[in-house]
């Protein structure tokens, strides 16, 4: 897909991978709605940086677990940009819980994590379908995780949610074809406040250990994941239903 002149929604777009992806899309000439649920100041800052690149931007608050909010967000994007071509489902949540402490996992953890990470991606894609078809074509990229492949991550519910998101990617690729392509990236360790906040004092040791185990001897920054996302949007129009692991080779080892 030629990105210049197109319009995108990036959920969770004010921070981390979402922010890096929005800026990368803007650098290619794409207008971007920067979605957020809590990070208003960061989303507005990101939108300002996108506008400085010469394209339109909009910071928009919506909880992706709310279907009505997803539909309203798509409506705002079309109103602001006149079209919608790209959706990046980067919004996500978790709670850091030891896999060994099964009793620490609450019903509320399952409900919230699945609602945002899986249901939210589905609802955003469903809401975007008509607008993308009206534009002639569309590209959806879901931000999954290697946690959904190897079941190692912040918590059991998080790993299960990312496995479900990978499955959802395949289902949506079938359901939305031929006009809309659906793919996913599965990052491993990503530098930034998500893991810094979750791992606390063990963050640096975990980062170094992961880098040591990676074939490419480093972990990902948000910009690395954004580049993988862009490759699925701006690359071949015959790629759909694919899960691209972006972890420096940790998953295959030596």
Active-site residues, by number, are 158
User: Using CA atoms, how far apart are residues 147 and 82, in angstroms rounded to an integer?
Assistant: 37
Beta bridge partners of 185: 143, 244
CA distances to 12, 55, 68, 153 from 116, rounded to whole Å, are 11, 29, 14, 17
**Peptide bond preceding 52 in cis form (omega within 30 of 0):** no
One-letter-per-residue 3-state SS of the chain: CCCCCCEEEEECCCCHHHHHHHHHHHHCCCEEEEEECCCHHHHHHHHHHHHCCCCCEEEEECCCCCHHHHHHHHHHHHHHHCCCCEEEECCCCCCCCCCCCHHHCCHHHHHHHHHHHHHHHHHHHHHHHHHHHHHCCEEEEEECCCHHHHCCCCCHHHHHHHHHHHHHHHHHHHHHCCCEEEEEEEECCECCHHHHHHHHHHHHHHHHHHHHHCCCCCCECHHHHHHHHHHHHHCCCCCCCCEEEECCCCCCCC
């Amino acid at each position: 897909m030629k990105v210049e002149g197109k319009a995108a929604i990036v959920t969770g777009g004010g921070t981390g991978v979402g922010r890096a992806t929005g800026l990368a899309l803007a650098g290619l000439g794409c207008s971007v709605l920067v979605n957020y649920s809590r990070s208003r100041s960061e989303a507005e800052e990101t939108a300002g940086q996108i506008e400085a690149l010469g394209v339109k931007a909009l910071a928009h608050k919506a909880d992706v677990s709310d279907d009505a909010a997803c539909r309203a967000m798509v409506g705002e994007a079309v109103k602001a940009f006149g079209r919608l071509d790209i959706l990046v489902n980067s919004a996500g949540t978790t709670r850091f819980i030891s896999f060994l402490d099964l009793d620490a996992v609450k019903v509320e953890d399952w409900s919230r994590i699945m609602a945002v990470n899986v249901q939210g991606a589905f609802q955003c894609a469903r809401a975007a379908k008509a607008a993308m078809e009206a534009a002639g074509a569309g590209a959806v990229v879901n931000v999954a995780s290697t946690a959904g492949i190897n079941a190692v991550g912040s918590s059991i519910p998080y790993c299960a949610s990312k496995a479900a998101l990978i499955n959802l990617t395949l289902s949506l690729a079938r359901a939305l074809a031929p006009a809309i392509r659906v793919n996913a990236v599965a990052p491993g360790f990503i530098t930034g406040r998500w893991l810094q906040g979750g791992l606390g004092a063990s963050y640096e040791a975990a980062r170094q250990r992961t880098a040591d185990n990676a074939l490419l001897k480093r972990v990902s920054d948000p910009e690395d994941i954004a580049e993988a996302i862009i490759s699925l949007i701006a690359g071949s129009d015959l790629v759909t239903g694919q899960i691209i692991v972006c972890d420096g080779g940790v998953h295959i080892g030596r």
